[in-house]
Chains A and B, each alone.
Chain A
Amino acid sequence: MTRKKLAATAVITIAGMCVLPLGLGIYPQHVLITSLFYVMMAASWNLLAGYTGQVSFGHAAMAGIGAYTSGILAAKLGINPWIGVCFGTLLAALLGLGLGSLCLKMGGIYLSLTTLAFSQILQIVIVNEYDVTRGTMGLQVPGLMGDYSKLHYYYIMLAAAAVILVILYRMIHSNLGMNFRAVQNDETAAAAVGVKVLQMRVLAFTVASAMAGFAGALYGHYLLLITPEIPSLDLQFYVLAMTVIGGMGSLIGPVIGAFTLNILAEKIRDYGEYHVLVYGLVALLMARFAPNGLIGIWQRFKPVRPR
C-alpha cells in the first residue's frame, strides 16, 4: 500500500469511527469504549510478541499499575486525573525498564516467568493493602471530566488509541523497527551486524509497558471503579488471545482481534460465562495452525488482483 493510500484509509477509518457511536445506545457505546481499551493493550503487547519475539505475562499488571497510580493520586491526594495518567504511564515505564533490564539479559523465558510472578504479586499487594487500594471492593476514582458522558469518553479513548497506533506505526517502520525484527528473527546474527540486542529488547518492553500503563490509567478513570480485575491474568489472557487470533506481527491484526473478541464476548455471554473457554480453544487452534491469525488467513485467500 502506498503512503497516500494508507493515509487515506486511516482518515476514512477514523472519520467512520467518529460517527459510529452517534446513533447507538449507552450499552453499545460502552462496548466500543472497552474495545478501544483492548485495542491499545493488544497493539502494544504485539510490539513485544509480534515484533521483538518476547512474551510478557505482565501487560495487564502494567495496565493495573497505571490505573491504580492515577486512581490513588486522584482519589487520595486530589491530583488532576490527567496529571495522574501521566504519572501512571511513567511508573509503568519505569517498572518495565527495571524488570526488563533485570531479566532480559538472561533470555526471553526469564521475562515470561518474572512478569507472570510480578502480576501475581501485584494482585496480592492490591488485595492486602486494603487501606490504600480498597482491595477487592475496588477504588472509587473521579472521572476525567466534570460531567460524565459516554460519548466524550469514547472520543478520548479513540484519540488515545489512534495516537498509540501512530506511534507504533512510526516505530515499526523506522530503523528501530528493523532492529526489533532483526532481534526477533536471529539474535546472534543481529548482534553480529551491530544491533544492541539487549538494549532493543529492554526498549521494546519499556515502551510496551508505558503504553499499557497509559491505557490502564485512562480505562480506570472511565470505569470510575478500579478493581484487581484490571491487573488480572484473565485480562492478560484476553489481550493475548486478541493478538493471537487477530494476527501477531501485523499492526492491524490486534486491532481487528480486539474488536472482534470483545464484541463477540457480549454475544456469547447471553449463553453463560463460556467466552474465556471458547477464546482459549480458538486461540490454541489459531496459534497452532494459523500463527498469523485472522490477518494471515485473509491474506492467504485474498484474490490476487492483476496489475
Chain B
Amino acid sequence: MLAISIMNGLVMGVIYALAAIGVSLVVGIMNVINFAHGELYILAGYFSYLFASAMGLNFVAAMLLSIALVFVLGILIEITLIRPTYGNDMYSLILTFILSIVLQNAYLLIFGPYPNKPPLWVKGATDVFGLFFYGNQRLAALLAGAAVIAAVFLMIKKTWFGRIIRATSQDREMAELNGVDTTRLNMLSFGLGCALAAAAGVILSPVFPVTPNAGVAIALTAFVVVVLGGMGSMWGCVVGGLLLGLVENLGAAFISSGYKNVFGFIILILVLLARPAGLFGRAKI
C-alpha cells in the first residue's frame, strides 16, 4: 500500500510538474495566469483521441499534431485576448476565466459528457522491484513526462531563446533595453505554456480519460504547485509537483480518498501562511 502510493505519487507528481511548468513560465514572463490552462490540457486529450482513435493516425503522430494545434491556438489566444490587456492584470484573469467556461461548454456540446480516451501506447504491467505490478502505460507516462520536463529545462538553460526568457522574467525593462522584442516573446511563451498543458494532456489522457469539466481540477492542481514552488520558478514546479503528488496520494491512501483534492488546498493555505513567496520564490522587494 505504501509502496504503490509512493509510485502513484511520483507519476502524478511528474505530470503535475509538467502542467505547472506551463503556468509558471507564463507567470514569470508575462505576469498573467491562464485560467483556461486546464481546458487546453483537455483539448489536447480530445485532439489525440480524435486523431488516434477516430482517424487512425499513429499515436505519436497524433500526440505531436495535438500539441502543435494547441500551440497555435495558444498564440491566437494571446494575440486576440491577452495582448490588449497588458498593464491591466485583472482583465486577463477575467478573460481567461470566461474562456475556460466557453471551452468547457463547447466540449460538452461537441463531445458530450462521456469520458473519452485515446488508445494506450503500451499494454500489460511490469513487476516493480518485486513489490507490486504497475501498469506499463503509467510507467510510460512517467518517462514521457520526465523527458518533456528535461527538454524544457535544457531549452531554458542552454538555448538563446531560453536566455531571453530568463532575462525577461528577471527584469522586463532591462531586457527590452537590450533589444528583446517582448511582444513577440509574450506571444511565443504563451503558446509554449499552452503547448506544455497540451503535452501533459496527451501524456495523461490514455490513463485518465478526458471529460468536459476535468480541466478545472488539473488547472487548480497546477496553480497550487506554482504557488507552492514560487511563482515563476522552474525548480519550484518540479519539487512542488512531486511534493503535491506524494501528499495527495499518501493522503488518499491513508486518510480519505474523497478528500484527495482538499490536501492540495490545505497545502496552499499553509504556504500562504508560512512562506507566501513559495519554496523557491523571491520575496517581493
Query: What residues make up the interface of A, taking CB atoms closer than 8 Å to B?
Result: 49, 53-55, 57, 102-103, 105-110, 112-114, 116-118, 120-121, 124-125, 128, 233-234, 237, 240-241, 244, 274, 276-277, 280-281, 283-284, 287-288, 291
Also in contact, A120 and B216, with CB within 8 A (given A55-B90, A277-B109, A284-B98): yes
By a CB distance below 8 angstroms, the chain A residues around B261 are: 120-121, 124
Also in contact, A284 and B272, with CB within 8 A (given A116-B223, A121-B262): no
Within the complex, what minimum Cβ distance (angstroms) separates A135 from chain B?
A: 11
A57/B223 in contact, CB under 8 A:
no
Within the complex, what minimum Cβ distance (angstroms) separates B230 from chain A?
A: 11
Also in contact, A291 and B93, with CB within 8 A (given A117-B220, A121-B265, A284-B81): no
**A272, closest chain B residue (CB):** B109
Q: Is B259 an interface residue, CB under 8 A from the partner?
A: yes
By a CB distance below 8 angstroms, the chain A residues around B101 are: 233-234, 237, 276, 280
By a CB distance below 8 angstroms, the chain B residues around A125 are: 259, 262
Q: Is B91 an interface residue, CB under 8 A from the partner?
A: yes
**A233, closest chain B residue (CB):** B216
Top-3 shortest CB links A-B? A280-B102, A277-B105, A128-B258
By a CB distance below 8 angstroms, the chain A residues around B223 are: 113, 116-117
Which of A274, A277, A287 is in CB contact (< 8 Å) with B94?
Answer: A287
Which of B105, B262, B273, B276 is in CB contact (< 8 Å) with A276?
Answer: B105
By a CB distance below 8 angstroms, the chain A residues around B203 are: none
A280/B98 in contact, CB under 8 A:
yes
By a CB distance below 8 angstroms, the chain B residues around A54 are: 90
Query: What residues make up the interface of B, taking CB atoms closer than 8 Å to A?
Result: 27, 31, 33, 35, 80-81, 84, 89-91, 93-95, 97-99, 101-102, 105-106, 109, 216-217, 220, 223-224, 227, 231, 258-259, 261-262, 264-265, 268-269, 272-273, 276-277, 284
Measured CA separation A103–B273 after assembly (Å) = 9
B93/A102 in contact, CB under 8 A:
no
Within the complex, what minimum Cβ distance (angstroms) separates A74 from chain B?
A: 26
A55/B93 in contact, CB under 8 A:
yes
By a CB distance below 8 angstroms, the chain A residues around B94 are: 49, 55, 240, 244, 287
Measured CA separation A288–B78 after assembly (Å) = 12
Interface centre among B91, B93, B101, B284 (most CB of A within 10 A): B101
A288/B268 in contact, CB under 8 A:
no
**A117, closest chain B residue (CB):** B265
B98/A283 in contact, CB under 8 A:
yes
B33/A113 in contact, CB under 8 A:
yes
By a CB distance below 8 angstroms, the chain B residues around A284 are: 81, 95, 98-99, 102
A49/B90 in contact, CB under 8 A:
yes
A277/B106 in contact, CB under 8 A:
yes
Within the complex, what minimum Cβ distance (angstroms) separates A191 from chain B?
A: 13
Also in contact, A109 and B99, with CB within 8 A (given A49-B94, A120-B216, A121-B265): no
**B283, closest chain A residue (CB):** A106
Within the complex, what minimum Cβ distance (angstroms) separates A251 from chain B?
A: 19
B91/A291 in contact, CB under 8 A:
yes
**B223, closest chain A residue (CB):** A113
B259/A124 in contact, CB under 8 A:
yes
Measured CA separation A225–B98 after assembly (Å) = 28
Within the complex, what minimum Cβ distance (angstroms) separates B273 from chain A?
A: 7
A106/B216 in contact, CB under 8 A:
no
Measured CA separation A121–B277 after assembly (Å) = 22
